[in-house]
Amino acid sequence: MPEYRAHFDFDISFANGGGLAGTGFRLDLPTADATEDQIARLLVAHLGLALVDEVSLRGLRVVEEPHRGSRGVEAVDAATSARRVVDLSHPIRAGLVTYPGLPAPTITPHLTREDSRARYAPGTEFAMDVIHMIGNTGTYLDSPFHRYADGRDLAGLDLSSLVGLRAEVFHLEDAWDASRRGIRSATLADRDVRGAAVLLHTGWDRWFGRPEYGVGAPFLTGEAAQWLIDAGAVLVGIDSLNIDDTESGGERPAHSLLLGAGVHVVEHLANLGELPPRGARFTAAPPAVEGFGTFPVRAFAEIPA
């Protein structure tokens, strides 16, 4: 792969007074299309400077040239090459049907870009919109308060139980059929799930947003939920309509058991087929809303490169 360096002169001023100048400077770049602002930040990182006010680059040229070990670009390379991020969330849009019978979100303008032009300086405009939606929209997380009045609400959740969790992914798209939709503990018993996010890949997300999504969906049985609790799982996610069987009446054993034990539930995940069975890190953090039990999340997994 070709490598690139920037050639330039520079002037740096400091917020607490003084300055620094250099001529004929060369700096490793992560890519050939790095912007002038990015190069300026790399320069500051390479020199290890603090309290920088302004950086001015002169005579900037980017040339194909082997790297020489600039410190700033090493950090950028490590940050971008050490992992791959997989989005596990369904996008939310106006009119989206997540769960049949629940209201779809509506999005309306509070301040349009056109109207904002009269409020701000020339060339400056903003859009401010209002979204009205039920918490059970898109890919969302259930907190204990969703099921129990005295359970923790979204604002009471410990972030350490939502961020960077070791993921145990069970690829089950070929392990069930319409006559046996429930995922049982025996299917999960070959893994150590203590402290992990257990992610159930059924492939049902292929129907998301379509009528087929609401009928015959796979789910987690109550006895499997209890097994996961006893085994020490901290979060359980599924790419299906619900963690429970919504076609068997009003009982919700998986919700009741998991949330009663403080185990978070994430429903309507997507793209779980892109994850390895082990080795990924899972994150699904909702906003800290007091007195609220369910809210959409931007769920994602980080996979070592």
C-alpha span between 185 and 223 (Å, rounded): 7
Give the per-residue pLDDT at 111: 97
| Within-domain flag for 98 | no
The number of beta carbons lying within 10 Å of the beta carbon of residue 151 is: 16
C-alpha span between 129 and 111 (Å, rounded): 7
C-alpha span between 141 and 163 (Å, rounded): 13
Which of the 8 DSSP states describes residue 212?
G
**Strand 165-171 versus strand 197-201 pairing type:** parallel
CB 294 within 8 A of CB 242: no
Whether residue 152 is found in the same domain as residue 59? no
Q: Helices 222-231 and 253-260: crossing angle, nearest 10°?
A: 20
Please give the backbone phi and psi of residue 85, each rounded to the nearest 5 degrees, phi first. -110, 130
Contacts (Cβ under 8 Å, ≥6 apart) of 214 = 99, 100, 241
C-alpha span between 161 and 154 (Å, rounded): 12
Whether residue 193 is found in the same domain as residue 74? no
The number of beta carbons lying within 10 Å of the beta carbon of residue 287 is: 10
C-alpha span between 282 and 182 (Å, rounded): 24
As for how many domains the chain has, the answer is 2
Give pLDDT tens digits along the chain (305 positions). Answer: 789 999 999 999 999 999 999 999 999 998 899 999 999 999 998 899 999 999 999 999 999 998 888 776 655 555 555 679 999 999 999 999 999 999 999 999 999 999 999 999 999 999 999 999 999 999 999 999 999 999 999 999 999 999 999 999 999 987 666 668 999 999 999 899 999 999 999 999 999 999 999 999 999 999 999 999 999 999 999 999 999 999 988 899 999 999 999 999 999 999 999 999 999 999 999 999 999 999 999 999 999 87
Quickly tell me which residue has 């769960």 as its tokens.
99
Please give the backbone phi and psi of residue 7, each rounded to the nearest 5 degrees, phi first. -115, 130
CB 70 within 8 A of CB 14: no
C-alpha span between 31 and 73 (Å, rounded): 10
Domain termination site, one of 58, 81, 104? 81
| Within-domain flag for 89 | no
Give the per-residue pLDDT at 49: 92
| Within-domain flag for 197 | yes
Domain termination site, one of 56, 81, 106? 81
What the block records as the tokens of 104 is 């779809």
| Within-domain flag for 121 | no
CB 86 within 8 A of CB 303: yes
Whether residue 25 is found in the same domain as residue 164? no
Full domain range(s) for residue 269: 140-304
Please give the backbone phi and psi of residue 180, each rounded to the nearest 5 degrees, phi first. -140, 75
| Within-domain flag for 103 | no
Quickly tell me which residue has 């082997």 as its tokens.
66
Residues paired with 199 in a beta bridge: 169, 237
User: Torsion angle, CA of 199/219/203/143, rounded to 10 degrees?
Assistant: -40
